[in-house]
């Protein structure tokens, strides 16, 4: 009888690890592992060059058409809009996704910087990979143009106010990433 119980216990123990291993192997990978590629390539699963449908699918929320000066350039804004700014917008040129802008602390730029970070943090985070320029409209404000470490033409631009605080940032492909007036 003891032998039967011992054999029964062994066979149950042998089944448990097999079930655990099988469950682990059949679990699908996390969605983020599949679609969260470099932000210098686009936004979540929407790569630069993708169409509007891909941008809407990547955002996974409501986007309102923000217009533009022509059909060649349009912007989509998160809806509803945050109380103190636009939050995030996506720019499309000739139907292709070319840039996104962030004016909210809710989203982080590459390497963890965000609205509210300082110019000193930009300098320390991207040594040798940024260029500082005066802002076109705000006296004393600066734009930091970051060239990524990856091989891409995309750029990250931080807008920093006269007090040295990031007020907005964007990532996109030239020439759209350099437009100061967005689509205007």
pLDDT digits (tens, 9 = 90+) for 68-89: 656 799 999 999 988 888 999 9
pLDDT in tens, 30-66: 333 333 348 899 999 999 999 999 999 999 999 999 8
Total-model pTM: 0.77
pLDDT confidence of residue 184: 66
Closest CA to 47 of 157, 154, 119, 180: 154
Predicted local confidence at residue 182, as pLDDT = 85
In 27-153, which ranges are continuous DSSP H helix?
Answer: 31-35, 52-59, 119-125
Under the banding of pLDDT at 50, 70 and 90, the label for residue 15 is very low
């Amino acid at each position: 009888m003891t032998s039967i119980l011992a054999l029964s216990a062994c066979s149950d123990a042998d089944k448990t690890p097999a079930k655990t291993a099988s469950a682990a192997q059949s679990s699908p990978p996390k969605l983020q592992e599949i679609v969260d590629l470099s932000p210098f390539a686009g936004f979540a699963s929407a790569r630069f060059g993708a169409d509007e449908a891909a941008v809407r699918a990547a955002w996974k929320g409501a986007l309102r058409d923000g217009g533009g000066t022509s059909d060649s350039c349009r912007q989509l804004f998160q809806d509803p809009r945050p109380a103190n700014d636009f939050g995030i917008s996506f720019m499309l040129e000739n139907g292709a996704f070319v840039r996104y802008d962030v004016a909210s602390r809710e989203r982080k730029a590459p390497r963890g910087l965000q609205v509210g970070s300082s110019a000193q943090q930009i300098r320390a985070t991207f040594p040798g990979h940024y260029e500082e320029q005066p802002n076109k409209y705000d006296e004393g404000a600066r734009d930091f143009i970051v060239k990524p470490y990856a091989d891409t033409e995309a750029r990250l631009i931080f807008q920093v106010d006269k007090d040295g605080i990031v007020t907005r940032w964007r990532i996109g492909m030239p020439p759209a990433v350099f437009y100061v007036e967005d689509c205007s």
